[in-house]
Amino acid sequence: MLQAVSNAFRLPDLRRKIIFTLGILVVYRLAAHVPVPNVDRVALRQFFEANQLLGLLDMFSGGAMSNFSVVAMGVYPYITASIVMQLIQPLIPRLEEMAKEGEAGRNKIEQYTHLLTIPLAAFQGFAQGTVLARQGALTNFGLSGEALLPTLATIFTLTAGTVFAIWLGELITERGIGNGVSIIIFGGIVSGIPQEVGQLLLSNMRTLLVFLVITLVTVAAIVVIQEGQRRIPVQYGKRVRGARVYGGQSTHIPLSLNSAGMIPLIFAQSFMIFPGVVASYFKDTSNPWLAWFASGVYGMFDTSGVIYWLFYFLLVIGFTYFYTDVVFKQQDLPDNLRRQGGFIPGIRPGRRTAEYLNGVLGRITLVGAIFLGLIAILPFVARIITGTAAMIITSTGLLIVVGVVLDTMKQLEAQLLMRHYEGFIR
């Protein structure tokens, strides 16, 4: 592997792409430390330590939200817009037609995604500012009186920061190595590792060793599941045109064990945290019945309880099946095979092929769904073993890091093999 890295740096174009990617990450990390005005850093840090959802958003912002910097929202609004566009494609015929129009259609959908990102970023910026203002972490924020202009300026700055972060990610995609948006998130996650390791090292050496073992085992499991596939054989019929025979080759359809990625974790975590956040606003109300009900809901969705993690595990499994089904239907593999003259040996084309593929996908998705569920409750398991919930990298972050590393290595592998060098993967 070291020889492959050396080969990559010997090639001027690859070396230029790697250095460009690292340079863009440095620019983003610098922007992540430029805070917006009127921020109380002490109150902000205390609020983040007590709120798990903000920790998730901080991860997608690359650590910028914990500083409430100009790029505090990072690329999260863009991710939200992408998920929304993907989910509504089956509901809007025109979007579904665009998705089947090849590169031009995908570019048009990407343009709509960028346009949707802007209002989502503005709304999210206002929502986050309002929450922080209520907690005393942000002053002079509101839509009335003298705070109106500073508030509008803050929302505009946060929205522009999101657009800036997306632009940096697209620069990496075009001129660097890897998927730019993923690389931005990756850089933010790994930037916090030295601090977490230092804290664990100072507190308890045994705990650090246990977390290192858990991390290594989890990484190995993620690699196995992420790379795991069920290959469905496909045969293409022969076609005779004049004196020539076309087709007749055999290939396969790779169905991944985990084709939903980290999306189910995001859906489930947001769904689980929302009731507790809403209940926290009503548990101290003057109405005794409402206060009792809100306190019960708040306690049920407390992240330290077993009920929370059990529901979290089940929700991840449910969302994994849901999102996998949505993505699979958009691909429309049975119809594509029929139009290209392909068929699965022993299976009739059309409805029977669709039923067969759905059956296989349902069985292998069970493995991926249970795995994602175990990844989701990893902090709870780690707390039972070590007595602390602090982790070097969160379970969701670990899934992202391993996925980005695998994807980037594959791209470098392809670049090296094109130039007759031995690659990373052997």
Q: For 150-161, what is each residue's pLDDT tens digit?
A: 888 889 999 999
Please state, for a pLDDT cut of 90, what percent of the chain lies above it: 5
74-93 burial, b at 16+ Cβ within 10 Å, e below that, comes to bbbbbbbbbbebbeebeeee
Model confidence at 1, in pLDDT bands (50, 70, 90)? low
Report the C-alpha gap between 253 and 251 in whole angstroms.
Answer: 7
pLDDT of amino acid 422 = 55
pLDDT number for residue 280? 64
Nearest-angstrom CA–CA distance, 41 and 50: 15
DSSP string computed for 103-131: HHHHHHHHHHHHHHHHHHHHHHHHHHHHH
Q: What percent of the chain has pLDDT over 70?
A: 81
Q: Which residue has the tokens 């570019």?
A: 107
Strand 229-236 and strand 238-241: the pairing is: unpaired
pLDDT of residue 18: 86
If one compares 44 and 70, the residue with the highest pLDDT of the two is: 70
On the question of a common fold for 1-191 and 202-393, the answer reads yes
Q: Which of 262, 259, 268 is nearest to 361 (CA)?
A: 259
Side chain identity at 183, as an amino acid letter? I
Does residue 118 have a pLDDT over 90?
yes
pTM more than 0.85? no
What pLDDT does 95 receive?
80
| DSSP 8-state code for residue 304 | T
223: Cβ–Cβ under 8 A, 6 or more apart, which residues? Answer: 402, 406
Fold of 1-191: Preprotein translocase SecY subunit (1.10.3370)
Residue 96 carries which side chain, given as an amino acid letter? E
Q: Which two tokens mark 308?
A: 């929370």
Query: Using CA of residue 50, residue 268, residue 363, residue 357, what is the dihedral sign?
Result: negative
Per-residue pLDDT, 164:
93
- 354-381 mean pLDDT: 85
pLDDT tens, 214-260?
778 888 888 888 888 888 888 876 665 655 655 567 778 888 888 87
DSSP state of 246: E
- Counting every residue, how long is the chain? 426
CA atoms within 13 A on the CB side of 286: 0
pLDDT of residue 119: 92
**pLDDT value at residue 156:** 92
pLDDT of 63 higher than 70: no
Determine phi and psi for 135, rounding to 5 degrees: -90, 0
Least confident range of 11-15, 31-35, 243-247, 361-365? 243-247
Task: Give buried/exposed letters for 321-334 (b at 16+ CB in 10 A, else e).
Answer: bebbebebeeeebb
Q: What pLDDT is stored for residue 171 in this prediction?
A: 92
Average pLDDT over residues 377-386: 75
Confidence (pLDDT) at 357: 86
Q: Hey, where are the domains in the chain?
A: 1-191, 202-393
User: May I ask the CATH class of domain 202-393?
Assistant: mainly alpha
The confidence score (pLDDT) of residue 20 equals 92
Give CA separation, 193 vs 63, 124, 187, 196, 315, in Å.
11, 27, 10, 5, 28
Which residue has better confidence, 381 or 114? 114
Distance between CA atoms of residues 389 and 380, nearest Å:
7
